[in-house]
Structure 1
Amino acid sequence: MMVRLAEERDFPGFLGLAAQVEHWFGPMVEDAGFHDAVRDHIRRNAALVAVPSAPATDLLGGLLFGSDASVHHIHWLVVSQQARAGGVGRELMRDAMRRWVRGPADVEVVTFGADHPGARASGARAFYERLGFTPAEAAAPGPEGGSRQLFRRAVPAGGPA
């Protein structure tokens, strides 16, 4: 597996990943706003993809990243169903932190609330906790109406740990 900056040719792969998680996040594949967000992140070199070592057309995972001042945001992180629990998400996060985060800073991500069915099924909350994120304040519900919670990780001066 290799993690690299996303390119326009990866756009269909992002839609393929989105199709696998719409039942948790709400409609994305046909959503023009989602399309615009993915393309904007790709243009700004703020999107990463995980691809298989051997030539293949499907993405293993994708990440959209953003920053404002000393707060960085994981806007979207999805690992394909067949690659989950294989280290893909961890590698995407490692690359994003190395590439874009300099401390002191906070990194934030909004994920499922504890009562959301996707919280356990996706493993997202446990994943972020293993990476040093801690649950913070509640966030606005997702487009499907499910609860959301902000997770935050403090990065000390000098960069990510």
Structure 2
Amino acid sequence: MHAVPAVRADLPAWLCLASEVEDLFGPMVDDPQFRAAVERNMERGTALCVRAAGGESGELAGGLLMSVHPPRYEISWLAVGGAWRGRGIGELLVRTALRDLTVAPGTVEVTTFGPDHPGRGARGFYEHLGFAPASHLSADGTRQTYRLRLPDV
């Protein structure tokens, strides 16, 4: 499997993937701002996806949106479909984004779930990839920003 830039033909599958994770992220599929953000990232080449079947548009195993403003980068959205979790799809997406969409030196940030949130497993995922907490928990304890420093090569 490969992480590749998403194209407009992937939008229906992207929205299907988003529907799978609305219990963690909140409503997205019917939100015109979410759809517009996905489309903008597709146009910019900063939406990456892993297609489930043979590279054709259809079901997505995972997707990632990256905000690119060198030297600052942000993973603004990352999701892996339930049937694909635990297979390295998320790591593939993040490592591909780091390789293809960033330039060192710089920093990559991601806002992830707090330790008491049902999506708290994402914290360990990001720590495994070298991210570290960069801020205190949000006031309600549900979110925290993690940061990765890109090495000065």
Aligned counterpart, 2:143:
148
Say what the alpha-carbon RMSD is for the aligned residues. 1.7
Secondary structure at the counterpart of residue 60 of structure 2 = coil
Task: Note the alpha carbon deviations across 1:56-101, whole angstroms, 9 max, x for none.
Answer: 6210000001122311100101011000010101111111111011
Aligned counterpart, 2:110:
109
Aligned counterpart, 1:83:
84
Whether 1:126 and 2:127 are equivalent positions in the alignment is no
Whether 1:136 and 2:131 are equivalent positions in the alignment is no
Name the CA distance, whole Å, in 1 between partners of 2:138 and 2:12. 28
Aligned counterpart, 1:74:
75
Name the CA distance, whole Å, in 1 between partners of 2:68 and 2:55. 32
Aligned counterpart, 2:30:
30
1:136 partner amino acid: A
Name the CA distance, whole Å, in 1 between partners of 2:67 and 2:50. 18
2:100 partner amino acid: R
Q: Percent identity?
A: 42
Structure 1 unaligned segments of length 5 or more: list them.
none
Structure 2 unaligned segments of length 5 or more: list them.
none
Deviation at 1:117, TM superposition (A): 2.1
Q: TM-score, normalised by structure 2?
A: 0.92
**Equivalent pair of 1:2/1:53 in contact (CA under 8 Å):** no
**Equivalent pair of 1:113/1:138 in contact (CA under 8 Å):** no
> When the two structures are aligned, how many residues end up with a matched partner?
152
Name the CA distance, whole Å, in 2 between partners of 1:11 and 1:138. 34
Deviation at 1:52, TM superposition (A): 3.0
Name the CA distance, whole Å, in 2 between partners of 1:3 and 1:67. 17
Name the CA distance, whole Å, in 2 between partners of 1:73 and 1:21. 20
